[in-house]
Amino acid sequence: MISSVFAIALAAASMQASDATRASREAFTACLRTYVSTSLDARMAVDAFNAAYPQQCTQQEAAFREAILRRENAARATRASAEQTANDEILDARTNFKDRFEMSAAPQ
């Protein structure tokens, strides 16, 4: 029993260590975090932020998308499923940082 629990824990740890999307995810979220922080420091209006935000971190986003697609391909996902997963993960990251900005921005 203990050996099976240990084997499962070891497998989970190795999956986390080999996550091919980690570096690109961290680069993408670091870029978004920097942009949000800079925008807050500049006291950017929410409308101006919302207009400029989609054009930010596009290179990091593309690298993250490619890493997700490679990961999903390795897991034998369909192309449509891989694309949906990539879209969902990118949307989640962008939404989280947009929400952080809007919650932290001074009221208009």
Q: pLDDT-derived band of residue 17, with 50, 70 and 90 as boundaries?
A: very low
Q: What is the pLDDT of residue 14?
A: 45
Cβ–Cβ under 8 Å, residues 98 and 53: yes
Tell me the C-alpha distance between 16 and 22, whole Å: 9
CA torsion sign for 66, 71, 73, 79 is negative
Q: Which residue has the tokens 């500049």?
A: 42
Domain ranges of the chain: 21-104
What local confidence, expressed as pLDDT, does residue 107 receive? 73
pTM of this structure: 0.80
Assigned token pair, 56: 């930010």
Sole residue written with tokens 């203990």? 2
Q: Convert the pLDDT of each residue in 29-61 to its tens digit.
A: 999 999 999 999 999 999 999 999 999 999 999
